[in-house]
């Protein structure tokens, strides 16, 4: 199976490459090799390479900066996604679009179903929702959207790698305790995407690891597991704080738990608890680093 991967240099793109299944011929392209905002360039590249599957792991993910860079966020997350979906349609390739929990407002108190009402709080979520709508409208017969949340990996800057650095540098930390979701290891999401390439479901799906945590809970677990595996040399105080005590340009949903039941059934997946996944990621990070 020939697969074209847009966003190959991001943390998810790199995880997809690291767990590449046998029998996959992968063409991984970063933004320098394929600017998905350029519809003509996308159409030409896809037409020439003739992939059977096209995965879009490219995204504008600077949540706060998006508030002042709306045009850039929509160009990548909305129009860029549409360009890829239309190119996939023209060649008959299966198309996978990665989206986010930020399409919801977080006011719900039970896990969000794929069919629940969307209501993004900021530009980033709005741009990703617009991307979902455009790709499903352009190519409904061959497109799957998979929403995820709280993604981290050994690669790049994310909550886990940032916490490890700050815990080594600082004497104490304050971490938001009133935002709740599910941490998701990029490796598990990548393996789920490869499974989707085999099964080829269409429509909207949710995927995260299992369980629930606040950012504070997540930080406490990172410190505990980091100490246990030798990535951290000392324990520091971590204090729970409220969102109002840590203002940011973009509003975040206070509740981001996604219902994955349909995804597990469609793909015959055995879910992994986020704490187990974190332990595995830190072991991987200690052995291999971010290389």
Gyration radius from the chain CA atoms: 19
The 8-class DSSP code of residue 117 comes to: P
Q: Which two tokens stand for residue 9?
A: 């240099």
* Phi-psi group of 132: left, alpha or beta (phi > 0 → left; psi -120 to 50 → alpha; rest → beta): alpha
Q: Residue 146 and residue 148: Cα distance in Å, rounded? A: 7
82: closest CA among 11, 4, 140, 149? 140
Q: What is the rounded distance in angstroms from the CA atom of residue 158 to the CA atom of residue 161?
A: 6
Helix pair angle (159-169, 274-288), 10° resolution = 70
Residue 124 appears among annotated catalytic residues? yes
Active-site residue identified among 60, 94, 124, 216: 124
**To which H or E segment does residue 9 belong?**
none
Rounded Cα–Cα distance for residues 4 and 87 (Å): 11
Report the C-alpha gap between 200 and 181 in whole angstroms. 27
| Residues noted as catalytic | 124
């Amino acid at each position: 199976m020939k697969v074209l991967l847009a966003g190959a240099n991001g943390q998810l793109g790199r995880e997809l490459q690291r767990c590449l299944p046998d029998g996959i011929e992968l063409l991984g392209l970063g933004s320098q090799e394929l600017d998905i905002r350029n519809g003509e360039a996308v159409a030409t590249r896809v037409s020439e390479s003739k992939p059977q599957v096209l995965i879009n792991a490219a995204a504008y993910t600077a949540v706060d900066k998006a508030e002042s860079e709306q045009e850039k966020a929509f160009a990548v997350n909305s129009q860029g996604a549409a360009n890829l979906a239309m190119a996939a349609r023209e060649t008959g390739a299966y198309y996978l679009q990665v989206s986010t929990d930020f399409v919801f407002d977080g006011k719900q108190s039970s896990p969000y179903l794929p069919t629940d009402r969307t209501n993004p709080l900021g530009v980033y979520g709005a741009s990703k929702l617009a991307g979902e709508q455009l790709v499903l409208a352009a190519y409904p017969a061959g497109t799957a959207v998979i929403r995820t949340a709280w993604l981290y990996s050994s690669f790049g800057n994310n909550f886990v790698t940032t916490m490890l650095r700050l815990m080594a540098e600082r004497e104490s930390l304050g971490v938001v305790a009133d935002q709740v979701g599910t941490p998701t290891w990029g490796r598990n999401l990548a393996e789920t995407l490869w499974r989707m390439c085999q099964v080829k479901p269409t429509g909207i799906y949710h995927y995260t690891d299992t369980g629930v945590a606040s950012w504070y809970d997540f930080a406490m677990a990172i410190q505990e597991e980091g100490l246990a595996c030798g990535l951290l040399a000392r324990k520091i105080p971590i204090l729970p704080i409220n969102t109002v005590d840590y203002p940011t340009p973009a509003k975040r949903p206070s509740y981001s738990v996604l219902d994955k039941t349909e995804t597990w059934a469609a793909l015959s997946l055995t879910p992994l608890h986020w704490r187990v996944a974190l332990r595995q990621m830190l072991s991987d990070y200690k052995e291999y680093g971010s290389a």
